[in-house]
Structure 1
Amino acid sequence: MSTRIFSSPESSISGFFFVWLTCFPYLFSVYGSASETKQNRPVINVTKHISFPDFSLQNPRIFYDVKLLGSAKLLNEKGVVQIPGETNFSDLRHLAGRAIYSWPVRLFDPFTETPASFETTFSFRLSKATQLNSSGSEMGNHEGSGMTFIIVPDEFTVGRAGPWLAMLNDACQENYKAVGFEFDTRQNPEFGDPNDNHVGINLGSIVSTVTANAYDVGVFLKDGSVHRAWISYDGKQKWIDIRLGLDGLEYPSKSIISGPLDLSPHLNEYMFVGFSASTGNMIQLHQVHSWNFTATSQAFLRIPSSESCESKITFPSSADLTSQKKNHKKEPHLVFLILGAVVTAVAVVVALWFFCSSKEQNSNSKLVVLPEKKQRPSSLIKPRRLTSSEISSATQGFSEGEELGSDCRGVYYKGKLSGGCEIAVKRFSAKFLSSQQGSDKRRLLKEISAMSLVRHPNLAPVRGWCHDRRDVMVVYDFYTNGSLDKWLFGVGVLPWTRRFKVIKDVAEGLSFLHSKRLAHKNMKTSSVFVDVSFRALLGDYGFVLSAMESQRFEAAVSQKADVFEFGIFVLELVSGRRKLDSELNQEEKDLVDFAWRMHEMDEKAKVVDGRLGSLVNLEQAIQVLEIGLLCTLNESKGRPSMGDIVEFLSLERHIPELPASRPMVLCPYNSATGLCPGYSCGAFN
């Protein structure tokens, strides 16, 4: 119960007094020990030095000390780190990469909350790239976005391509601590860039906190020259100094950026340091030729505790006792602290006694009822019917500003109920409702009701529904990370490990749904949502009815169609492209056709998203690709069930061998639309 009842004021006072007396000695001991620890622990400096005169593979430590992520490569013949790694026939657009020191560096002392002091200098070159197409002809020279010296909390994240400089991506939450010093050669007004030749400091954001014009120090970053940067940070004074010039010349007398800067809120105790860069539609090669880095942080040396084994088994000498008495005399402020706390406690107890006594005199009951605690807004626990006025109020009258997207079934809106619960509302269109093959709203509501009873960690629950003479609406939880298609087909590059986890999550959710003799009927990337931990949840159920019996229809047709569309879903995750892409040539336009053709040529690796670079587990990606192709087989020619697919993905069963060539007859699949006719209406993208 949320209402608390005590038998009498005396019991409440005695309870409070007992708790206070119990806790105070502990608090006192903690204060004393903390004070003693702080006073007695010696302060030392922890220094870390990193030096790379070049990045030649002749240095055997290069493989251990430099970690390459995304499109970053080591060019042995030049002795440099390059982002992206250039090849004659690869597409260098929309690539992102990082090259970082493999081991974490201590950059913050949590005890004193003081950032470390550090100095780094590195030589680098930003040059135009000549992009060649598959036939070897030149596509033109382009300029890219520059590069960043980064300080980041982990050694596996790769940021977005394009103007994000591979520093941050959509998976980085607000508490993702990152610091970047950007040397930018492209002006992005949306990020507040002053021009296409500037230096900036980024604190947990791609928008620079401070920027400076590189022309002011006579530097043109994209002239193809090798430049050198010097970054110096004083952690105690919280002061930054950045200088920039041509490599090989003297240390610049003028700073490009100099001033106060507190990095404390953006640092963990241990961080990774290195470089990041990216390309978008504009292409640029980013090379790091040499790098030196030194960090010095303050730390308290840990000394053996007085609670040692020897003190546990020996009696203290008289000299020790005398010393302890002297130490107690040296800290009289602790006695006053105890005396003051006792007096305060007595005063509080007396005040409570008088307050409770007066309450008892004015009450006919001997019980004291404390007011109910204010509860935090919570989501709908049990699915329920909502009124159209509730949903209209939650979505601000179905305003365009709250619209999330639409498809041929209806429109999605974001909303907030009166209790504070954020929801997503699917409002079915009149055209969709009238197209249900003679079915009425009762049958649609029956299916919605059946879905609302299903619970699984990888299924987005139906939280409520609404129906009246005009409207039918379904209410889901709202996921701030949105749908998967925004992550997969957006500007950034979704790492392979996350893609594989999404595929497994969706397979398990779909398998559970099929075990209940239900079907999703709308399997696509925009129907998959991701929560804050990037767990995938399958939602946006199709609710397509048939003149047949519902369960019989699900078992005989819809589940098999679910498997086919799951196969296309897998191909999209592996390739990083949509099932139909009009911008590609005719041979690659249809993803299913292209994947089967590459299988027939034993070149399935060409289907795997090239933007993943060296981070992808190629063997695993090809196995998953084969599972996706199995799902597109004819129903009677080897198409697996979702239960089979879950076992394939968990390595509990051997993946069947694919036929040597693509079967003539597949699922009823229209290559012009990428859909199964009469089954799905396509993603709202």
Structure 2
Amino acid sequence: MNHPRKLLVCSSFVLVFNILFFRPSSSDGLNFEFQSLTLRNLTLLGDSYLRNGIVGLTKELGVPSSSSGTVIYNSPIAFFDPDSNITASFSTRFAFFIGNVNPSSFGDGLTFFLSPDNQTLGSPGGYLGLVNSTQLTKNRFVAIEFDSKLDPHFSDPDDNHVGLDIESLVSIKTANPMSVGINLKSGNLITAWIDYRNEETKLEVFMSYSSFKPEEPILTVDVDLSDFLKEFMYLGFSASTEGSTELHFIENWSFNTYGFKPVRPNIHPHNVSESSVPLKPPIPVSDSGNRHHRRLGLGFGIAGPAFFCAVLVVFGWISVRRWRETKNDRNLKAELMTGPRQFSYQELKSATRGFHSSRVIGSGGFGTVYKAFFTHSGAIFAVKRSKHTHEGKSEFLAELSIIACLRHKNLVQLQGWCVEKGELLLVYEFMANGSLDQMLYRESEDNPLQWPYRYNIAVGLASALTYLHQECEQQVIHRDIKTSNIMLDGCYNARLGDFGLARLMDHDKSPCSTLTAGTMGYLAPEYLQYGKATDKTDVFSYGVVILELACGRRPIDREGACHKMVNLVDWVWRLYSEGKITEAADVRLNGEFKEEEMKKLLLIGLSCANPDSAERPTMRRVFQILNNEAEPMPVPKVKPTLTFCNSLPLSIDDIISDDDDGCRSPDSQFEIVVG
């Protein structure tokens, strides 16, 4: 009976020894190198975007504008080892360039920053996209600024300088890169190296037009960052403009931490030096015949316990690891990890006041959406609650598995989830301005959705669909693009959501035939006929949304009270064939729009809603046309007609039947599933 107890004592000793001296830690450092940037490892915030492996941080517009954007590495990086009380040294290299369509319009610059927050996004102008103009002390950061504008408010020395900023945009020390012949606004590709050596408390910045690191830095700062580099930090870049056409790009990036592996202590029993203990000479033994047996015994005597201890060490390490993984109270390190987290049912119930009707902000086929306020953190989220637990499970799993892996500034970001007490719950970031259909069709004389917002929504949605169709590792077909699934943030930027019907598909693979699902008016003809969802069916739905934006009319509406049903695509195409396409513009805009942009948007809508799927553009082409990077596609004057080999078993009138009184509200949504 004593053997298990002895084994437990031995295991405990080995485990304690292992934890004290051999415990794996985050102090081994990290390194990565991106020759071409992808959204697999990065999160884009604000106006930033990714194109051809290059990140643009500010809006690509040919007119003076104000803009700010951020790109952040998804995973937090260990910078401090609490066991050894050592802060990491680090080095980074990246290539950037600052372009400008108008050389006389410049400002404000870009930064490389480290922050404990993975949502760092600041204001335009001299705030460099790093600091909020209304909350100057909110964001914590260590940053190197590459400033292209003299801003006296932040004590800038000139309009071409590099500086070290610590939780303030008033630089601790600056240097002018012209000292080595570098002009930030030259438009040339510039490579920058930033090195921080913790043991020397020194930070150095090197810059060159070539990829070879110079021998001498342009900026050297004696600074101890150990008080500012927390246990885990996020890395990223930010940039901003204010009334200028300056553009900021990051082309490649590498980063590594090093130098904070704790030194293992030298163990001296009783704190007595070796020289203080007299050593007796070995006694010679003449029995040479037993040497072989003694060697074997010595070998087994060493190898056996060593092997046994190794097994116990592995067993102990696995046990501790499993214990940590199943621990209910998550520590700060776990909270800092990226990706959606699992919420408890109780905290979501409390945040929504027991899913009270006063907290309802929307509803749909999946269920009801509630506004959730978390009192302990002050955060506001939107919680989507399934209407039918069993029926909604497949859609819930589809949405969770798809959107959790997606990162784009024009997609609603999933924050967490909960499967408890028979409930299926998804937690999203809260969108201050609700859905596009609520904003577009609300009964108000003062419609805040003015033309610049509408055009920007069209661009943002095109960018999101380009990402889903062509830039993800697997192509994502949304299948339910409509105005009620497009959310608007506080600045009226489009955020595509509701991936309950989305499907993953390998690129260049034929689509699978499925049940037709979606909302009438947004469904492509071939999808209604054959039930095959492709990227071109998403393009059709996008075209209808674009026409809604321009015209302020629903996809299927009635002219006047209880009059005949009118299809929006047919109505706009008829006006186009009559040479009066701009008459389709929303009358509530009162003519306050750019006619060229209005005509472009209407023609893009018709191109995307072409009955012939082969004639529809890709979303990348649409995005390029909207950004004046490609010529618009020709649109036939008469709407093409298609003939299917098998007729659709139900007509539009059959699917959308009138109510008993012969009238249907224009606000009604027509949900269908056709086998």
TM-score of the superposition, structure 2-length normalised?
0.40
The structure, 1 or 2, with the larger RCO (C-alpha pairs under 8 Å, 6+ apart) is 1
